[in-house]
Amino acid sequence: MDLFAKIEKNGNWRMSQEAKAAGAYPYFHELRSGQDTVVDMEGRRTIMLGSNNYLGLTSHPKVKAAGIAALEKYGSGCSGSRFLNGTLDIHAQLERELADFLHKDDAVTFGTGFQSNLGILGTIASLGDYILCDKENHASIYDGCKLSYAKMVRYEHSDMADLEKRLKAVPETAGALIVTDGVFSMSGDICNLPEIVALAKKYGARVMVDDAHGLGVLGKTGRGTAEYFGLEDEVDILMGTFSKSLASIGGYMAAREDVVEFVRLNSRPFIFSASMTPAAVCCARAALEILRGEPQRVARLAELSAYMRRKLKEEGADIIESQTPIIPIYTYENDKTFLACRLLLERGVYVNPVIAPAAPAGQCLLRTSYVATLTEELLDEAAAKIGEVLRIVNG
């Protein structure tokens, strides 16, 4: 059998070609400007409602200046693994600053957020252990579970009764880790961390929170989901990314000192990957410094998100309720989702299409997300256009 036969059988390639020919392909649109509230997308002024740049720091002068200075001092890359020649003083400084901000003993950084979950889960858990995984966790968590050789047990999304049922079935001789997104990336809802922590204590499990969409979004100072619930001392492992609120690229783990050192010395995705580039490190450090000094950005983000929820409801949009800057709008069907994205882009508004398997069949979405540097005027404009398009799509 030809190795490539699966490509034709799968059908994705053909469907993408047909969608492109019909002008309905919703992916890989090219930006001609940096990430901002308003961007140049393929020559069109476009309000950006599809970015994870939650604090609006990708275009902040201090962040850009930090990246330029790092490039001039350290060059474009490290040409090696952190384990050998690729550790710069700025890597260690960023890790200390993260640990201090997150109220943990230590932290370790990875090249991407996806790699972070591979590196953490594939090292902390192993054959004979159990990982209890929320069904709506990020794909990188699922792949990290596979890499670990631990037994992955999925529980229904945010269903604490189901989680307890699964925990009861874990052998007393096995290690157990409950891993959950802090803020779920598609729906924008927040995990039930108080109940997760309580169950972990009851059954002797450890807790890991992927706070990629929680850092800079939740908590009085933006420390994320654990701060939001007042449970920072109860979460064993915090994972996050620099590609969202911290305006860079990369990821991290923050935990107890011995746990972090164990990962440093044993994580294959960490040991056998080149380290974060100097510019990425210094941009993340600058963004973290801004977050620490300007917690009002977190409050402003919440204010704008609540404002947009009200506007979308006034326009008749069927939204998923949440307390985060992720506001999904139901479109239900694939065709309606793609049509809505195309019509919105023609009107100068970018949103993300979410279809199966990222959303359950028949529950397709327009995923909108918001940035602290947006204005009410831009949100008014975008909401009116979303309402117009939804009325067209829904007939």
For residues 65 and 54, membership in a common domain is answered with no
| Mean pLDDT in residue range 16-44 | 89
In this predicted structure, the answer to whether residue 17 has a pLDDT above a threshold of 90 is: no
Q: How far apart are CA 155 and CA 325, in angstroms?
A: 25
Q: Which residue in 320, 305, 389, 304 sits closest to 348, CA to CA?
A: 389
Catalytic-role residue among 104, 138, 244, 385: 244
Last residue of a domain, one of 293, 322, 357: 293
Is residue 148 located within the same domain as residue 261? Answer: yes
> What is the rounded CA–CA span in Å between residue 141 and residue 107?
19
Q: Which residues pair with 47 in a beta bridge?
A: 38, 349
For residue 330, the one-letter residue type is Y
Asked if residue 137 has pLDDT above 90, the reply is: yes
pLDDT at 10: 76
CATH of residue 22's domain is 3.90.1150.10
| 197, 234 contact by CB (below 8 A) | yes
* Range from 198-207, 353-362, 369-378 carrying the lowest mean pLDDT: 353-362
- CATH value at residue 102: 3.40.640.10
Is the confidence at residue 153, as pLDDT, over 80? yes
The verdict on whether 244 is a catalytic residue reads: yes
Domain boundary among 227, 259, 293: 293
Confidence band of 203 (pLDDT split at 50, 70, 90): very high
Domain boundary among 231, 263, 293: 293
Q: Which domain holds residue 379?
A: 5-58+296-393
Number of domains in the chain: 2
Domain shared by 303 and 243, yes or no: no
Q: pLDDT band for position 79 (50/70/90)? A: very high
Residue 69 and residue 51 share a domain: no
Return the pLDDT at 9.
77
pLDDT computed for residue 23 by the predictor? 78
Does 79 share its domain with 185? yes
Q: With bands split at pLDDT 50, 70 and 90, how would you rate the model's confidence at 321?
A: confident
Q: Which of 104, 138, 213, 311 is catalytic?
A: 213
Looking at the structure, do residues 245 and 281 belong to the same domain, yes or no? yes
Q: 106 and 180, same structural domain?
A: yes
- The yes-or-no verdict on residue 13 having pLDDT over 80 is no
Q: Is the bond leading into 357 cis (omega within 30 degrees of zero)? A: yes
Torsion angle defined by CA atoms of residues 204, 114, 34 and 324, in that order, rounded to the nearest 10 degrees: -30
Active-site residue, from 51, 140, 148, 185: 185
Same-domain pairing of 48 and 169: no
Residue 213 annotated in active site: yes
Q: What is the mean pLDDT of residues 113-139?
A: 97
Mean pLDDT of the chain: 95
pLDDT of residue 242: 98
Indicate whether 74 and 144 sit together in one domain. Answer: yes
pLDDT higher than threshold 90 for residue 360: no
